[in-house]
Each structure stands twice: as structure tokens, then as C-alpha cells.
Amino acid sequence: MSRTALRICPLCEATCGLTLTLDGSRVTGARGDRDDVFSKGFICPKGAAFPAVDADPDRLRGPLVRVDGELREVSWEEAFDAVAAGLRPVVERHGPHAVGVVLGNPNVHTVAGALYPPLLIAGLGTRSVFTASTVDQMPKHVSSGLLFGDAHAIPVPDLDRTDHLLLIGANPLESNGSLCTAPDFPGRLRALRARGGTLTVVDPRRTRTARLADRHVAVRPGTDALLLAAMASVLVEEHLVDLGECAPHVQGVAELADALKDFTPEAVAPACDVDADTVRVLARELAAAPTAAVYGRIGSCTVPHGTLASWLVDVLNILTGNLDRPGGALFPRAATDKPPRPAGPGRGFALGRWHSRVSRHPEAKGELPLAALAEEIDTATDAGEPLRALVVVAANPVLSAPDGDRLDKALGSLDFMVSVDPYLNETSRHAHVVLPPPPPAQSPHHDFAFNTLAVRNQVRYTRPALPPEPGRMPETEILARLVLAATGRHGTDPEAVDRLVVHQTLGKAVNDPHSPVHGRDPEELAGLLTGRDGPERRLDMMLRLGPYGDGFGADPDGLTLDRLLAHPHGIDLGPLSPRLPQPLKTRSGRVELLPEPIAADLPRLRAALGERPDGLVLVGRRHLRSNNSWMHNVPALTGGTNRCTLQIHPDDAERLGVRDGQPVRVRGAGGEVTAPAEVTDALRRGVVSLPHGWGHDRPGTRLRHAAADPGVNVNQLLDGSLLDPLSGNAVLNGVPVEIAPETASGPGTGAASGAGHGAPAGLPGPGG
Ligand SMILES: Nc1nc2c(c(=O)[nH]1)N[C@H]1C(S)=C(S)[C@@H](COP(=O)(O)OP(=O)(O)OC[C@H]3O[C@@H](n4cnc5c(=O)[nH]c(N)nc54)[C@H](O)[C@@H]3O)O[C@H]1N2
Ligand SMILES: Nc1nc2c(c(=O)[nH]1)N[C@H]1C(S)=C(S)[C@@H](COP(=O)(O)OP(=O)(O)OC[C@H]3O[C@@H](n4cnc5c(=O)[nH]c(N)nc54)[C@H](O)[C@@H]3O)O[C@H]1N2
Ligand code: SF4
Ligand SMILES: [Mo]
């Protein structure tokens, strides 16, 4: 007998509502939920493949523990015994910083990933925290931290109402959007054009998004900060600055104007390879549009001036009066946001409160660069102990971070490593204990992270569509037990973790004069929480204390978990609305337009004015039916155009003697890979492109389909030394490479074969 269940899709940031068809304990189909308040029936090919992703036979079914070098299936109890026995001695002998915590992207797509990793980090007391943020959006956090005093206050383009969208280094037709949660992003872009709005895309590739645009600017990779700085300087020079309603909340306009005056269109044109007239037009169009939003993503973040480019995106929004106004870029208000606090000066945002041990990289948002993980394990210094143990949750840095070969070796040298991961992959194969979460249909879903980045305020929650299979443990419980095992409380009831959080949160709330529960008894409030388990009670608490909450009775019409459960397709909370000055937490209580660390980084940007390297540079790309490193094992999502090829412009191909389909060797500072050429004029000259997340040819993994067509790891071309200095974000785009057609004697003969896992002669090897 088949039945249906609702499930929010966890496979990308668009958070579409799915209607799953279930047969017994299997998911047999997925379609878009037409009644979903936000996604209204939209689904993409990945969402449609949810049943195959969920049922992948290579997903691990139970925990594994390494015994005599071999991973063996054990009971959950034995697995957590092994975690406690592996981690505690490291903490006791070498201190908490010797245990690293590595968090990957899917943590923002799970309830468990939102609720427990902060407790793990705080409980361990480690400063050795590395996440996918530093190969992704850390520059945006740093820029928001400095501008607004809150690293999480990220303005989101008002896609549905804007008249003009300037999109930089993003390809939402393939990625479905990022730091801008918008189910059916492609449809929303078409609607923008249909209502007479304009779309400009800045991207070195003529992407599917660029093809939809009114204007495509094929900028030279890595130079967006220059382009945006020149646009800002045009606004100043041509008296087009108009802060609008946000003027009273902004300081530093004159200082900013002065700091940017060297970045004229003529000065940046040679470096950006965008003519000065175009830069002027881009600035004038932005200023002239009734409303406009500038939005930057991966291509503006994972570059040498990522923080400056991210800052300039918002600078342009501010200078044109588009920050915090409908049709511009606004701060969403999620149902689980912290209770609103009164506007006024805050604590500000500090950078570099500590540093990495080896290269002295400053922390940002409590994190060290993922690109420095390998050296923090494999290099001894006087500045403290190297990492001896790792807790890895939902991360595959061997493929997603620079120089996977070096990290691969380093992981193999750890005293202890535990991975919470459904797969035995390039990273988890090194673990001493692997704790596999259930597949998504057996897990609950709420978008703690993405609702704070959504183009419309709304709230949705889906309970597990299927009960856990025998032998499964919910990921929330896995992580709660992991917190206990890592912090010397192994064996305690995992619900105690949630009880403690509830106790502490309510204790704080009742003491806060601005809280609706001020003066009440926390134990009484805790008793009012509903939900069938600890994580649900925590969600109930967050909803009730949040900006739309019932305040535990203070507002009887307010939000509670019960109320949310009564709305299985979600509750719409309205369009984004102006919120300034409430979100500001800077010391001044205002938007600080030219923060000191930014000003101090501008000379580096000025130096880039003169740079114009003439070699080839590499950029990445995403494919609609893929997701970073972990979806190449699903046959329905691979093949066709989703292939690990080196795209190259026909003129470059001809000059270098490269034919379409021929294997080419690509060399970078970190190593060399060989991939088949795909000659296409969708790239600008001088730029080649390889997708990331491939390279599934290491031994000891259990990814049978992926291993059959492994592709190559683009991040092997990087040595981990190129970072955006303010954020510690890895430079993944605009990286210099050399390429040559494969010769018969060269390594790797088959299509997309790896070049072996050592660095080739003449290039620095691991550790060098
Ligand atoms: N060259 C280059 N490199 C890049 C990028 C790029 O554009 N170019 N992009 C970067 C970006 S934006 C990101 S976010 C990173 C991603 O980097 P990572 O987060 O390291 O990589 P993912 O491939 O997302 O893999 C995450 C891991 O989570 C596991 N997983 C999947 N579902 C779950 C789950 O429900 N629970 C748990 N516990 N685990 C799960 C998968 O098996 C996989 O091992 O890669 C970065 N690397
Ligand atoms: N299908 C699919 N969807 C995904 C993912 C996936 O792997 N596959 N990953 C998810 C994740 S973790 C993230 S973070 C998001 C990312 O979401 P997006 O940022 O939209 O991702 P990309 O498709 O990589 O788009 C980045 C674009 O930047 C361009 N670019 C490269 N260098 C430069 C540069 O220097 N300047 C400019 N202006 N452009 C440049 C590239 O050509 C590319 O088109 O996607 C998410 N969604
Ligand atoms: S767009 Fe993203 S969230 Fe929506 S169905 Fe596709 S993968 Fe899932
Ligand atoms: Mo990402």
C-alpha cells in the first residue's frame, strides 16, 4: 500500500517541499509539494532523485570501528565506547586544542547539524575548529561582522520585488542559489525579467544564468573587488550616492569615498578586462533603478580579495539606498532567530582572537582555515601541540579542501579520528570510528540556517517520513552521544544534553528584561514544552522565544511547535521588511562603512591594480545534478553533461594543441591532474574550468558507482597557501595553472584518470 509524506528537501539551499511516495519502508517517488507555502511545487532533478539518494545501497547501515587496522561493524554501544576511549586520553594528555572539530556542508541541511556541533565545540573547549565555511562564504561573514557587527547578518536580495539584480560569481540556474534561499530561483529570475526588471551577470563563464541575463560581463577571475570598487567610485564621482532611509544608520561615507578614489574605471579596466565605459554603465544603472540588489556568491568569495568583494557588494547596496528596503537587500527574520533585542550599540565583531599554530592564520568567527588543516596535523612547531585527534561531522575535506593528498596522509597519521558520515569516502576511510546517520527520509527537517537567508520569511518543519530502520540511530542522538563521549560524560542519557540546553536558555531568558518570559520560572516553562524528543522540545523552545513566538503564553496567537505541526506545508510569515537599526551589533550601533581591518586590506587591492598575469587561470563550476563531493554515487545523477572535464576556450585549445575529448594535464602549485578536454566558447579566453568534488579513486572507500567514473580532484592543484587573509578563506577560483595535452608516456591514460597521488617532479610535494 503506498502512501505519501512531506519532507523538505535537504539537497541544496533552496529548501523545496517534497511529497514523497512511500511503499512499506521505502521511498518510491518524490514530487514538488504544490501546497508548500514557499516552494509551491517546484522541484529540480536532484529533488526528483531523492528516492535514489535515500536508498543508495552504499550508505552505511551501522557503526564501524577499526580493529587491527580493519573497519568492522559493531554495536552502537561499542562504537561510543571507542569514541570515548579514543578522544579522552588525547584531551587529558595534550589538552583540548589537540582535538580538531571539522564540520562539513550537510550540517546546515540537518537538524542535528544545527543543534549539536556548537555544544561539541564548547564542551571540548577546543580552538581547533575547521569548517566548509572557509572554502565557501567566510568572507561574507567577516564582511557582515565588520559592517553590521554580526557575522550572521547577511542581507538577502529581494528577488521577487527588485527592479535590477546584479549577480556576481553565482550560477543559480545550476546551484539553485546560495546565501539566498529561493525555491525556483530560475523562475524568480525569469519573473524579474518578465516584470520589466533587469538582470546583469558578472562571471568569466557564459553560464546558464548569464544566458538569461540582459547583460553578461565576462570579468577576469579574481578581480571583482576591483570592479566593484570602481563602481563605488563612479557613484561618488558622479554624485549618485543616495543612502535613502538607511542614512541615519550609516557612518563613514566620506572616509569610504576617500579610500576608494584611486579605483577609477580606467584604473581597474586592464586588470578586470572590463572596459571603463562598461564599469560606468554598471554603476549608473544600479543608481538609476527604482530598486536594485547586488548579490555575490562563490565566485566573489573564493578569491584573493574575497572579503573586500563581499564588503563591496553591500557597500554598493548601501550607497544606492538599497540596503534594508523592499526590492533591495534585506535582513530576513527567521522564526528561530534569537529573541529580538532593542537597537543600540553592541559588542562588535573581533577577528584574530587567536591564530593557527603553523602559519599563524587569524581565527575568523571562531574558525581556522580548512586549508590549514593538513599542516596543523603534520607540522610540529614550538607554538603548541599538533592536532592528534579529529571529530569530523559531514565533511569530506580530502576532496573539498586544497591539497587532498597532503591531508589524506595527515589524516592517516592521527591518533584518533571519528567521522559522522553516511559513507565510507575519501575522508571517512581514515576514521577509527564511523557513525552513520540514517538516510534523510528517516530524519526530521527544519532549516535553522537557511530560513535566516530566505527571500521570504516562512517556517516549515517535517518529521521523519519513515521510522528509523532497525539498527539505526537518529543523527540528533548520535551527535548528543558524541558530545557526551567527547566531554567525559560517556554513558549519560543523551536527552540530558537537550535538557541542559533548555535549562540554560530559559534561565537566561527569564533574566532578560526584554524577554516575554522575564521573571517567570524556568522549570515551569520547561514543563510547557511539547515535542516527542529533546530536539523537538528545543525547536519548540526556540520558536516560542523567537520573533513570532507565543512567548510561552504572552502572545496566544504566536508560534509554537504544535501550531507548526498543524501546518504541514508551512506557515508564511510575509515578505522581507526593513529592520534597521535592530540587527546592528557594531560598537557604534551603526553600519560601519569603512571598518579598520577592511581599510588595512585596501593597499593589497591597490597593488592588484597593476597585476595582469598572462597565463591561464582555473575556475570551478557546478552541475545541476551534483552536490559537492557526495552525490557522484547516485547513478541517476551522474553521466550526461555531469562530467569532470576541463573546459577550455577554442582559441586557447588551438594555441596549446588541445583537441576536444583529449586528456590534458593540468598543473598547479599543489600537484597535477589529467582530465579530458571539453572545448567550449562558454568560457572567456585565458580561463579553464574543472568542477570540484571529484577524484573518487582512492582505495578503502565504499562508493561503487562513483569509483567507476572517479574524475579528478581539482583541489589537488592547490597547495593550501593561497588564502583571503581577512577571512582565511581558500582561494579556489582564479588560480594559475599550466596545461598540456597528454602524451603517450605521461601518467594517466584513460578519461578523467587521476595522476597518482604524489606531486609531480618540479612541484612542491606534500609538506614542502
Ligand atoms: N575547488 C573547489 N572546491 C570547493 C568548492 C568549489 O566551488 N571549488 N566549493 C566549496 C564549498 S561551497 C563547500 S560547501 C565545500 C563542501 O565541502 P564538504 O562539506 O567537505 O563536502 P561535501 O561534499 O558537501 O560532503 C560532506 C560530507 O557529508 C556527508 N553527508 C551527506 N549527508 C549527510 C548527513 O545527513 N549527515 C552527515 N553527518 N553527513 C552527511 C557526505 O557523505 C560527505 O562525506 O566544498 C568546497 N570545495
Ligand atoms: N547542483 C548543485 N547545487 C549546489 C551545489 C553543487 O555542488 N551542485 N553546491 C551548493 C553549495 S555548497 C554552494 S556554496 C552553492 C554555490 O552556489 P553558486 O555560487 O551559485 O555556485 P557556482 O555554480 O559555483 O557559481 C559560481 C560562479 O562563479 C563563477 N566565477 C568563478 N570565479 C569567478 C570570479 O573570479 N568572478 C566572478 N564574478 N565569477 C567567478 C563561476 O564561473 C561560477 O559560474 O551551491 C549549492 N548548490
Ligand atoms: S532545488 Fe534544491 S531543495 Fe529544491 S528540489 Fe532541487 S535539490 Fe532539492
Ligand atoms: Mo558551499
Segment 505-525 mean pLDDT: 97
Closest ligand 3 atom to residue 8 Cα is 3
Mean pLDDT computed over every residue of the chain: 95
Segment 34-55 mean pLDDT: 98
- State the cell numbers at 599: 581599510
Ligand 2 center from residue 407 Cα (angstroms) = 24
- The Cα–Cα gap between 535 and 256 comes to 46
Task: State residue 144 phi and psi, 5-degree precision.
Answer: -65, -40
Which value, in Å, is the radius of gyration of the alpha carbons in the chain? 25
Q: Whose CA is nearest to atom 23 of ligand 1?
A: 629
- Residue 619 CB less than 6 A away from ligand 2: yes
Q: What is the 3-state secondary structure (H, E, C) of 100-140?
A: EEEECHHHHHCHHHHHCHHHHHHHHCCCCEEEHHHHCCHHH
Determine the pLDDT at residue 492.
95
Segment 335-351 mean pLDDT: 92
Closest ligand 2 atom to residue 12 Cα is 47
Q: pLDDT tens digits for 467-492?
A: 999 999 999 999 999 999 999 999 99
Segment 578-599 mean pLDDT: 97
- Residue 627 CB less than 6 A away from ligand 2: yes
Determine the pLDDT at residue 167.
98
Ligand 3 center from residue 51 Cα (angstroms) = 13
Q: pLDDT tens digits for 181-219?
A: 999 999 999 999 999 999 999 999 999 999 999 999 999
Ligand 2 center from residue 142 Cα (angstroms) = 19
- Residue 504: in which H helix or E strand, if any? helix 495-511
Judged by DSSP in three states, 216 sits in strand
- Residue 207 CB less than 6 A away from ligand 2: yes
Residues with Cβ within 8 Å of residue 690, at least 6 apart in sequence = 618, 620, 621, 644, 645, 646, 647, 666, 673, 675, 712, 714
Binning the chain into helix, strand and coil, the percentages to the nearest 5 are 35, 20, 45
- Residue 670 CB less than 6 A away from ligand 1: no
Judged by DSSP in three states, 728 sits in coil
Ligand nearest to the CA of residue 395, numbered in listed order: 1
Query: Please, what is the Cα angle at 579 between 240 and 460, to 5 degrees?
Result: 125
- The Cα–Cα gap between 201 and 296 comes to 10
**Residue 118 above 70 pLDDT?**
yes
- State the cell numbers at 74: 559493531
The single residue listed with the C-alpha cell 571583482 is 224
Segment 253-272 mean pLDDT: 97
* CATH fold for the domain made of 155-330: Dimethylsulfoxide Reductase; domain 2 (3.40.228)
Domain spans of the chain, in order of start = 2-54, 155-330, 494-569, 613-753
- The Cα–Cα gap between 458 and 543 comes to 12
Query: Cα–chain-centroid distance for residue 731?
Result: 15
Q: pLDDT tens digits for 51-95?
A: 999 999 999 999 999 999 999 999 999 999 999 999 999 999 999
The single residue listed with the C-alpha cell 600537484 is 671
| Burial state string for 168-194 with b = 16 or more CB within 10 A and e = fewer than 16 | bbbbbbbbbbbbbbbbbbbebbeebee
Kindly state the percentage of the chain with pLDDT values over 70.
97
The single residue listed with the C-alpha cell 572507500 is 701
**Residue 759 above 80 pLDDT?**
no
The protein residues having their C-beta less than 5 angstroms from ligand 4 (an ion) are 136
Segment 459-468 mean pLDDT: 97
- State the cell numbers at 10: 535537504
The answer as to CATH 1.10.1510.10 being correct for domain 613-753 is no
Segment 728-739 mean pLDDT: 97
Closest ligand 2 atom to residue 621 Cα is 24
- The Cα–Cα gap between 459 and 180 comes to 15
Q: pLDDT tens digits for 309-334?
A: 999 999 999 999 999 999 999 999 99
- Residue 645 CB less than 6 A away from ligand 1: no
**Residue 761 above 70 pLDDT?**
no
451: number of Cβ within 10 Å: 23
The 8 Å CB, 24+ separation contacts for 522-527 are: 525/552, 526/499, 526/502
**Residue 722 above 90 pLDDT?**
yes
Segment 698-721 mean pLDDT: 97
- Residue 12 CB less than 6 A away from ligand 2: yes
Determine the pLDDT at residue 755.
37
pLDDT band at 760 (very low <50, low <70, confident <90, very high): very low
- The Cα–Cα gap between 661 and 682 comes to 16
The answer as to CATH 3.30.200.210 being correct for domain 2-54 is yes
Determine the pLDDT at residue 613.
74
Segment 108-121 mean pLDDT: 98
- The Cα–Cα gap between 543 and 528 comes to 13
Ligand nearest to the CA of residue 423, numbered in listed order: 1
Ligand nearest to the CA of residue 177, numbered in listed order: 2
Q: pLDDT tens digits for 350-392?
A: 999 999 999 999 999 999 999 999 999 999 998 888 999 999 9
- The Cα–Cα gap between 300 and 453 comes to 18
Determine the pLDDT at residue 384.
83
Q: pLDDT tens digits for 624-666?
A: 999 999 999 999 999 888 999 999 999 999 999 999 999 999 9
**Residue 768 above 90 pLDDT?**
no
How does DSSP classify residue 639? Answer: B
Q: Whose CA is nearest to atom 47 of ligand 2?
A: 175
pLDDT band at 745 (very low <50, low <70, confident <90, very high): low
- Residue 675 CB less than 6 A away from ligand 2: no
**Residue 414 above 80 pLDDT?**
yes
pTM, full prediction: 0.96
- Residue 394 CB less than 6 A away from ligand 1: yes
- State the cell numbers at 89: 586520553
Segment 608-630 mean pLDDT: 93
Query: Cα–chain-centroid distance for residue 445?
Result: 18
Determine the pLDDT at residue 764.
31
**Residue 746 above 60 pLDDT?**
no
Contact 107, 448 (CB under 8 A): no
Contact 374, 407 (CB under 8 A): yes
Q: Whose CA is nearest to atom 40 of ligand 1?
A: 394
- The Cα–Cα gap between 483 and 489 comes to 8
Q: Whose CA is nearest to atom 4 of ligand 3?
A: 16
**Residue 175 above 80 pLDDT?**
yes
How does DSSP classify residue 69? Answer: T
Contact 570, 36 (CB under 8 A): yes
Determine the pLDDT at residue 754.
36
Ligand 4 center from residue 135 Cα (angstroms) = 7
Determine the pLDDT at residue 366.
98
Query: Cα–chain-centroid distance for residue 4?
Result: 31
Determine the pLDDT at residue 744.
62
Closest ligand 1 atom to residue 401 Cα is 47
